[in-house]
């Protein structure tokens, strides 16, 4: 998405975050999360775009989107790139059981 510094090229339209989350975007985010990368979602100050940031090994890519189909395409390309770099989804989910340590008192 092209834009000016501090939103100077904004047309005043506001993006509906709910519409983004009611699309294929969450499915593609889930696929990326299975690779172990960080995916963050934000919104531009003027509300005219949704930002998506993918972070892996301290390197990140961020893009801004007005339409969920463009975001889905970008997320698909990111998944293809990252798997091409050798990242792979976990073969099976692992559940870790942790015993609570706070609030447990030993008898005096």
For residue 76, give the 3-state DSSP assignment. Answer: helix
Domain 12-84 has CATH 1.10.10: no
What per-residue confidence (pLDDT) applies to 90?
80
d(CA 69, CA 80) in angstroms, rounded, equals 17
pTM confidence score: 0.74
Encode the chain (108 residues) as per-residue pLDDT tens digits: 445 545 555 567 899 999 999 999 999 999 999 999 999 999 999 999 999 999 999 999 999 999 999 999 999 999 999 999 999 998 655 656 666 666 655 665
């Amino acid at each position: 998405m092209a834009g000016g510094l501090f939103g100077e090229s904004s047309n005043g339209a506001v993006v509906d975050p709910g519409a983004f989350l009611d699309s294929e975007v969450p499915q593609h985010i889930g696929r990326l999360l299975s690779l172990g990368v960080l995916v963050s979602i934000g919104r531009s100050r003027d509300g005219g775009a949704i930002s998506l940031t993918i972070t892996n090994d301290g390197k990140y890519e961020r893009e801004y989107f007005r339409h969920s189909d463009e975001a889905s395409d970008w997320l698909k390309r990111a998944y293809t790139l990252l798997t091409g770099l050798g990242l792979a989804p976990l073969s099976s989910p692992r559940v870790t059981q942790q015993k609570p340590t706070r609030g447990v008192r030993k008898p005096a």
